[in-house]
Each structure stands twice: as structure tokens, then as C-alpha cells.
């Protein structure tokens, strides 16, 4: 019987089964490729090495390789060995199996290309990833690791590394007006992770409902609902989210500095009303400050709501928009009783200690502020170019919301949203209609608009993206 492990060159777990070793090995290799265990481009062991590891004849392996090369699953070239073919997908397996049922000698075409995706994207929620400050980040990582004590790489404090919590406390106080202390900060693996922890804490407190905005991120709504909280949409009017009238809900999730996606800042009277509700009922406000660093029409951005009552507001921040979502770094500034509750649920266990130390050094060295100043200038130029292009080429469309963040809302003539989204797709442009972000239980007439993530395209694609957008608009 063949051994299941091949350990020469790469670790490879195979279990040849069925009548005949050659057929069994061929099926096992094909299944490993189909399921993605062997990724396109992966170099396989030589037939001699694999035969030795599996305890079978070399000719058996060579024949199995030859069969899969003929079918298009593998490629074999002199000097480069045998590799998994590029472009092979699970769909290829279905095509091969259907063809094989007709005739044992009919094989799928090798190197089948997947359907092409959109050439351009204005999907909101992502910064320009090509502008990530790689050199400065590497410098901060070297400095942080050189200075870090050995125990920094252990399990550590569930609130997160003290270096990062200290750096965040200073930065958030200075730049966002947050009343923060390192002991009240919990680091998490992105904003969604922080929201998940808070939803679990609210459920443990016995809450069953979370008030949310009528328009918002569906992934956040679905996240809290998976944690057992029903979501109730708040009314929305020309001035934004209506905060008066909160009653039965014990908690509310808002984006007050720059409402996503409508783009408005929460008015001061509604901020005051919201805090009064929390104080009188013992409720909790979850403040999502997802892109608070980016405000273009004033010298200072809108301050955080948290400063009005730090014991009634849980502040959520993230590096996803200011740096990159792939860092998986976020933070919570919590009322004192919530700190212990959230850390008991896991806290910073899922956030990399190395990335925490690097971000702490990045902030403390001033590199974060320099990066943000550069990013503000770049994104403001993009927004200005968007507004100018629309004024010239699509005057029926207006940009609404404050000049902030990484997205804008384009109001469309009534009844045209879906046709514009389809036209954009035809022009190779991925874009979201406003209805994509509307709560299914929201009241009032839906608005026709596009939510334009102008931070998403890299610089070299910005002009082409604008052309595709203007071509799709009425």
C-alpha cells in the first residue's frame, strides 16, 4: 500500500485510492488541484522523489503525471519540472468530468481562462493600496522589532501591546478629540472584529436589539445579527440620521463624523440628543469613526462624538482606510466597565503583535501624520477631479455630502439607479448603487444614487475610471 505522505521538496499529502495505483494516484493529484490544495504554479516533486516517498514504482508516478499533463491539469517542461497549470479551477474539473462521461478520451482544454472582471472599480471601502507607505512601514518594523523585549512576542495583554495603546491614546486625543487612556483602549483585528466583540458583550448584557442607520454597511449589520442582535433602522431625512425617538433599543451604532454612505456629519443638536438618550436610559452609543482623518473643506475634521460622554460612548477606529485593510488593525476606546467585558471575550488575541509594535512606532515617529497629510492631498485632488468631470460631462448628476472620506454620493434622476449600474458594468466599471446599502426595513422612499469610492483606483487608473463613470451616467 502506498504511503500517504510525500516529504521530498514539498510536503504533499496524497491518498491513492481505487483500483490500480496509477489511477488512484492520478485521482488524488487531480483532487488536490481541484480543491486548491495544490495552487496554480506549484512545482511538484520529481517522479523519482515522489515514488520514493510514496513507496511505489517511479513509472507509476511518471504515468500519472503524463495523464494529468495531457488533461491540462499539470505542465511539464524540460528544466522546470512538473507544475500545476495556471488557470485551472474547480470549474475545469466539472468540464473534465462531463466530457469524460461522454468518452474516456475527451479531455478539457488546458489553461482555460476565467471570465474577465471589471477593468475599473469605484466600490467604496478601500483606500488606494498602491500608495501604502512600504518603505516607511518597513523602517518602523525594523525599529520596533529591534527595540521590542522578547516577551513582546508572547501572548501578552489581551487589551493589546501597551506601546500601541499608548501611541493611540496620544494620537486620538490630539487628532480626533477622543478622551483616551491606554488602559481604556483594546486593540482588535480590524473594525469588524471590534464590532463583533461589542455585539457579544451587548448580548451578554441581555440586549436583543441594536439601532442602526437606514443606510450603512450590510456586512456590519449582518455581523451583529449573526451575534444574535436584531437591527432596527433609524429614520433618515435631509439632515441625515434622526436620533430623536430612540426608546427600547439599549444601544445604537452610528457613523457621526461622516455618515456611511450618505456622507453627512451628524448635526450638533442631534449629537446632544443622542447623548441625552444614553444618559437617561443607560444606553450605549457605538461610534464608528472609520475615516475620520479625512476632511477636506475645513482645517480640522469633525471631532469624535465620544468626547461628549466617554462613559456612554464606545469609540471604534481602524487603520483600514488610513493605511490598508490587510493590516487587520483596529481599536476600541471603551467605557470603563466594558474594558473587562471585551477583553474577557478575546480582545487583542487575534491582532498580530508585530503589526501592533510597527504601528506604534509608525505613529510615534511622526510617519503616520506625514502619510495622512500626503493621503489627504491625493484624495482631495481626486474628489475635485470627480466634481469637475461631472460638472462638465454629466451636469444632471450632483455630488452630495461633505467633502470628506474616500467616497462620494452621486444623486441621480429618479428611477435611473439600476440602469446606470448596468451601464457602468457594460463599460467595465464596478460600482454600487445606494440601494445596495439600504436596510431592508428602512422606511421612506428610496433615493436613486451611486456611492463612488474614489479612493479605490490606483493613480494610473484614475483617468480611465472617470471616463468609464461619465460614459455610464445619464
Q: Does position 150 have pLDDT exceeding 50, yes or no? A: yes
Confidence of residue 312 (pLDDT cuts 50, 70, 90): very high
Task: Summarize pLDDT for 238-276 with one digit per residue, the tens.
Answer: 888 898 878 767 999 999 999 999 999 999 999 999 999
Residue with the bigger pLDDT between 88 and 454: it is: 454
Domains and CATH numbers, the chain: 5-102 (1.10.10.10), 120-128+370-472 (3.90.1150.10), 133-366 (3.40.640.10)
275-287 mean pLDDT: 94
pLDDT at 105 (0 to 100): 37
Please give the full DSSP string across 324-335, using - where no structure is assigned: -GGG--EEEE--
Task: Summarize pLDDT for 322-348 with one digit per residue, the tens.
Answer: 999 999 999 999 999 999 999 998 776
282-298 mean pLDDT: 89
Residue with the bigger pLDDT between 298 and 313: it is: 313
Distance, C-alpha 458 to centroid of its chain: 17
pLDDT at 88 (0 to 100): 67
Q: Does position 51 have pLDDT exceeding 50, yes or no? A: yes
Confidence of residue 4 (pLDDT cuts 50, 70, 90): low
Confidence of residue 93 (pLDDT cuts 50, 70, 90): very low
Q: Does position 84 have pLDDT exceeding 50, yes or no? A: yes
pLDDT at 468 (0 to 100): 94
Whole-Å CA distances, 409 to 118, 390, 405: 21, 12, 11
Q: Does position 103 have pLDDT exceeding 50, yes or no? A: no
Residue with the bigger pLDDT between 298 and 200: it is: 200
- Residue 215 DSSP one-character state: B
pLDDT at 16 (0 to 100): 72
Q: Does position 413 have pLDDT exceeding 90, yes or no? A: yes
pLDDT at 298 (0 to 100): 65
Helix intervals (H) in 6-151: 21-34, 47-54, 58-71, 90-102, 134-147
User: Can you tell me whether residue 400 is helix, strand or coil?
Assistant: strand
Nearest to 261 by CA among 434, 429, 119: 434
Whole-number Å distance between alpha carbons of 351 and 328: 7
Q: Does position 118 have pLDDT exceeding 90, yes or no? A: no
Whole-number Å distance between alpha carbons of 420 and 234: 28
Peptide bond into 389 cis (omega under 30): no
pLDDT at 75 (0 to 100): 85
Task: Summarize pLDDT for 209-225 with one digit per residue, the tens.
Answer: 999 999 999 899 999 99
Q: Does position 3 have pLDDT exceeding 50, yes or no? A: yes
In a 13 Å sphere around the CA of 109, the CA atoms on its Cβ side amount to: 4
pLDDT at 57 (0 to 100): 85
**In what helix (H) or strand (E) does residue 286 lie, and over which residues does it extend?**
strand 284-288
pLDDT at 10 (0 to 100): 61
Mean pLDDT check: name the lowest of 93-97, 283-287, 294-298, 392-396.
93-97
Mean pLDDT check: name the lowest of 62-71, 87-96, 383-392.
87-96
pLDDT at 278 (0 to 100): 94
Mean pLDDT, the chain, as a whole number? 87
Nearest to 224 by CA among 311, 233, 344: 233
Nearest to 406 by CA among 285, 306, 299, 325: 325
Mean pLDDT check: name the lowest of 2-6, 277-281, 381-385.
2-6
Confidence of residue 101 (pLDDT cuts 50, 70, 90): very low
Burial of residue 197 (number of CB atoms within 10 Å: 0-12, 13-18, 19+)? buried
- 237-264 burial, b for 16+ CB within 10 Å, e for fewer? eeebbebeebeebbbbbbbbbbbbbbbb
pLDDT at 26 (0 to 100): 86
pLDDT at 232 (0 to 100): 92
Q: Does position 435 have pLDDT exceeding 60, yes or no? A: yes
pLDDT at 78 (0 to 100): 61
| pTM > 0.95 | no
Whole-Å CA distances, 395 to 172, 252, 411, 470: 40, 38, 11, 10
Q: Which residue has the cell 491582532?
A: 351
pLDDT at 112 (0 to 100): 37
Amino acid at each position: 500500500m502506498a504511503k500517504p505522505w510525500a516529504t521530498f521538496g514539498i510536503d504533499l499529502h496524497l491518498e491513492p485510492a481505487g483500483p490500480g495505483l496509477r489511477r488512484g494516484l492520478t485521482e488524488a493529484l487531480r483532487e488536490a488541484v481541484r480543491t486548491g490544495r495544490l495552487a496554480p504554479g506549484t512545482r511538484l516533486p520529481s517522479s523519482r522523489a515522489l515514488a520514493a516517498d510514496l513507496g511505489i514504482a517511479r513509472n507509476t508516478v511518471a504515468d500519472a503525471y503524463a495523464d494529468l499533463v495531457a488533461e491540462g491539469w499539470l505542465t511539464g517542461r524540460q528544466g522546470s519540472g512538473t507544475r500545476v497549470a495556471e488557470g485551472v479551477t474547480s470549474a475545469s474539473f466539472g468540464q473534465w468530468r462531463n466530457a469524460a462521461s461522454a468518452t474516456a478520451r475527451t479531455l478539457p482544454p488546458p489553461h482555460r481562462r476565467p471570465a474577465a472582471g471589471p477593468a475599473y472599480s469605484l466600490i467604496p471601502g478601500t483606500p488606494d493600496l498602491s500608495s501604502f507607505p512600504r518603505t516607511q512601514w518597513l523602517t518602523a518594523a525594523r525599529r520596533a522589532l529591534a527595540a521590542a523585549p522578547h516577551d513582546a512576542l508572547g501572548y501578552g495583554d489581551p487589551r493589546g501591546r501597551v506601546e500601541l495603546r499608548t501611541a493611540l491614546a496620544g494620537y486620538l486625543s490630539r487628532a480626533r478629540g477622543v478622551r483616551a487612556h491606554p488602559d481604556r483602549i483594546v486593540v482588535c483585528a480590524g473594525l469588524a472584529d471590534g464590532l463583533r466583540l461589542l455585539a457579544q458583550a451587548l448580548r451578554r448584557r441581555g440586549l436583543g436589539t441594536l439601532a442602526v442607520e437606514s443606510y450603512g454597511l450590510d456586512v456590519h449589520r449582518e455581523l451583529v445579527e449573526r451575534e444574535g442582535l436584531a437591527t432596527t433602522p433609524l429614520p433618515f431625512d435631509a439632515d441625515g440620521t434622526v436620533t430623536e425617538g430612540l426608546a427600547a433599543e439599549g444601544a445604537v451604532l452610528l457613523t457621526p463624523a461622516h455618515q456611511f454612505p450618505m456622507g453627512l456629519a451628524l448635526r450638533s443638536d442631534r449629537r446632544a440628543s443622542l447623548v441625552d438618550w444614553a444618559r437617561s436610559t443607560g444606553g450605549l452609543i457605538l461610534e464608528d469613526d472609520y475615516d475620520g482623518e479625512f476632511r477636506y473643506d475645513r482645517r480640522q475634521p469633525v471631532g469624535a462624538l465620544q468626547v461628549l460622554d466617554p462613559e456612554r460612548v464606545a469609540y471604534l477606529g481602524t487603520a483600514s482606510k488610513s493605511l490598508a485593510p490587510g493590516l487587520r488593525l483596529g481599536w476600541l476606546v471603551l467605557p470603563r466597565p466594558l474594558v473587562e467585558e471585551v477583553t474577557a471575550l478575546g480582545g487583542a488575541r487575534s491582532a498580530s503583535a508585530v503589526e501592533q509594535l510597527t504601528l506604534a512606532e509608525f505613529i510615534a515617529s511622526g510617519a503616520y501624520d506625514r502619510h495622512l497629510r500626503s493621503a489627504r492631498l491625493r484624495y482631495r485632488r481626486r474628489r475635485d477631479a470627480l466634481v469637475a468631470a461631472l460638472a462638465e460631462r454629466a451636469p444632471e448628476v450632483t455630488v452630495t455630502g461633505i467633502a470628506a472620506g474616500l467616497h462620494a454620493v452621486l444623486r441621480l434622476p429618479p428611477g435611473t439607479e439600476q440602469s446606470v449600474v448596468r451601464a457602468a458594468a457594460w463599460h467595465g466599471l464596478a460600482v454600487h448603487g445606494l440601494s445596495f446599502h439600504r436596510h431592508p426595513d428602512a422606511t421612506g422612499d428610496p433615493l436613486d444614487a451611486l456611492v463612488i469610492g474614489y479612493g479605490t483606483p490606483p493613480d494610473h487608473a484614475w483617468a480611465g475610471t472617470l471616463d468609464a463613470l461619465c460614459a455610464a451616467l445619464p
